Structure 1
Amino acid sequence: MHEAVGFSPVSVFQRVGYKFGQWHDVGWWQLSLHQELPLPINSPLSLLEVQKLSLWNEALRSGLLVLRV
């Protein structure tokens, strides 16, 4: 399944997970975020720049609502 959506296997740790009375292998997979995309991507913003955006306070309010539930 992972490979079908672009992930590549990185490593397998053998018999490190114990569940339901059995030892299991744990696999690590990666997906490169640096890919050739058809549309240009904007550069990341600094925290100070993000705090100036109109969505900043809305995001904080909605996050606080989730925490209060």
Structure 2
Amino acid sequence: MAVHEAVGFSTVGVLRRVGYKFSRWHDVGYWQLSLQSEQSFLTDGESINPPLYVSEIQKSPLWDEALTNELLLLRV
């Protein structure tokens, strides 16, 4: 829980005693992290910056760089 909260996630819900593991009942928690700041939403809740299509992201020069970096991490 502390790791999620340390990077900005906030708790949005807890389901009590719904998980059973190692002969014990456990709570299950849900966290969320907004991909946009609160200021990036209009008063009616509509986003100023709508999500991009994957085809648009693939045109970015950062796309190949991100894939290359992740592949290098997988090989380590």
CA distance in 2, matches of 1:29, 1:51: 31
Matched, 1:66 2:67: no
Matched, 1:9 2:16: no
Matched, 1:39 2:44: no
| Larger RCO, structure (CA 8 Å, separation 6 or more) | 1
| Residue number in structure 2 paired with 1:51 | 58
TM-score (norm: length of structure 2): 0.58
> RMSD in angstroms over aligned alpha carbons?
3.3
Across the two proteins, how many residue pairs are aligned to each other? 65
Runs of 4+ in 1 over 3 A off after TM superposition: 30-36
CA contact (8 A) 2:19 2:28 kept: no
TM-score (norm: length of structure 1): 0.63
The one-letter code matched in structure 2 to 1:52 is K
* Shift of residue 50, structure 1, vs aligned partner: 0.6
Tell which structure's C-alpha radius of gyration is larger.
1
CA distance in 2, matches of 1:7, 1:35: 17
Q: What percentage of aligned pairs have identical amino acids?
A: 31
